[in-house]
Amino acid sequence: MAIVGTLKTFKGGRYFPKLPGTPRLRLDRAPLPRRAVVPLRQGFGDEPEPWVAVGDAVEAGQPLARSDEKLCTPVPAPVSGEVVALEEGVHPLDGRPTLIAVIEADGRPGWRPLERPEGSYTKWGREALGRVLYEAGVTALPKGGFPTAFNSSVADDPGAISYLLINAVEAEPYVRGDLVLLYEEFDAFVGGIKILKEALGNVEVHIGIGHDQARLFEELVARLEYHDWAYVHPLLPKYPQGADEVLIKTLLNRELPVGQPPQAIGVVVCDVQTAVAAYEAVLDGKPLIERVIAFGGSAVAHPRCVRVRVGTPVGDLLEAFKHEPPARVILNGPLRGVAPGDVEVPVTREVRALTLLKEPPAPVSTALHGPERPCIRCGDCLTVCPQNLSPIALFEALEAGRWREAERTLALEACIDCGLCSYVCPAKLPLAETLRQGQRWLREERLQEVT
Ligand code: SF4
Ligand code: SF4
Report the pLDDT value the prediction gives residue 363, as an integer from 0 to 100.
47
425 Cβ below 6 A of ligand 2? yes
- Read out DSSP for 53-77? -TT-EE-TTSEEE--TTSSS--EE-
* Cα-based distances in Å from 244 to 33, 260, 367: 32, 11, 25
**Ligand 2, atom 4: closest residue by C-alpha:** 378
CB atoms within 10 A of CB 139: 29
From start to end of 127-217, where are the E strands?
163-168, 204-210
Helix, coil or strand: residue 5: coil
Amino acid at 425: C
Which stretches does DSSP call E strand in 211-256? 230-235
> How remote is the CA of residue 310 from the centroid of ligand 1, in Å?
30
**Neighbouring residues of 316: CB distance < 8 A, sequence distance ≥ 6:** 30, 31, 33, 34
C-alpha 253/C-alpha 231 separation (Å) is: 14
Tens of pLDDT, residues 183-207: 999 999 999 999 999 999 999 999 9
| 232 touches 2 (CB < 8 A) | yes
Cα distance between residue 94 and residue 72, in whole Å: 17
| Alpha carbon of 381 to ligand 1 centroid (Å) | 8
pLDDT grade, residue 370 (50/70/90)? low
Range picked from 168-172, 299-303, 335-339 for highest mean pLDDT: 168-172
The pLDDT tens digits for 17-38 are: 999 999 998 899 999 999 999 9
| CA 324 / ligand 2 centre spacing (Å) | 34
Shortest-distance ligand to the CA of residue 381: 2
With a 6 Å cutoff on the Cβ, whether 427 touches ligand 2 is: yes
412 Cα to the center of ligand 1, angstroms: 9
Mean pLDDT of the chain: 91
**pLDDT computed for residue 446 by the predictor:** 78
Ligand 1 centroid–CA 66 distance in Å is 36
Least confident of 114-128, 331-345, 381-395: 331-345
In this prediction, residue 143 has a pLDDT band, given cuts at 50, 70 and 90, of confident
- Our mutation pick for probing the ligand 2 site, out of 375, 390, 399, 433, counting the most ligand atoms within 8 A of Cβ, is 375
Q: Is 134 left (phi over 0), alpha (psi -120 to 50) or beta?
A: alpha
Name the phi and psi angles at 414, rounded to 5. -75, -10
Q: Best substitution site from 238, 249, 416 to test ligand 1's pocket, by max atoms within 8 Å of Cβ? A: 416
Give the CA distances from residue 238 to residues 6, 159, 170, 207, in Å, rounded to whole numbers and listed in that order.
16, 32, 8, 16
Cβ-based neighbours of 427, under 8 Å, separated by 6 or more: 372, 373, 374, 375, 376
pLDDT of 424 > 70? The answer is yes
> pTM of this prediction?
0.93
165 vs 143: CA distance, rounded Å: 12
Cα–Cα dist 38/21, whole Å: 28
CB of 222 shorter than 6 A to ligand 2? no
Confidence of residue 450 (pLDDT cuts 50, 70, 90): low
Q: Give pLDDT tens digits for 227-245.
A: 999 999 999 999 999 999 9
Q: Ligand 1 in contact with 306 (CB < 6 A)?
A: no
Residue 369 has pLDDT above 70, yes or no: no
| Cα angle 208, 213, 218; round to 5 | 80
> Tens digits of per-residue pLDDT, 201-217?
999 999 999 999 999 99
Q: Is the beta carbon of 375 within 6 A of some atom in ligand 2? A: yes
Q: What are the structural domains of the chain?
A: 3-16+125-284 (3.40.50.11540), 35-104 (2.40.50), 289-361 (3.10.20.600), 380-450 (no CATH)
Contact 27, 306 (CB under 8 A): yes
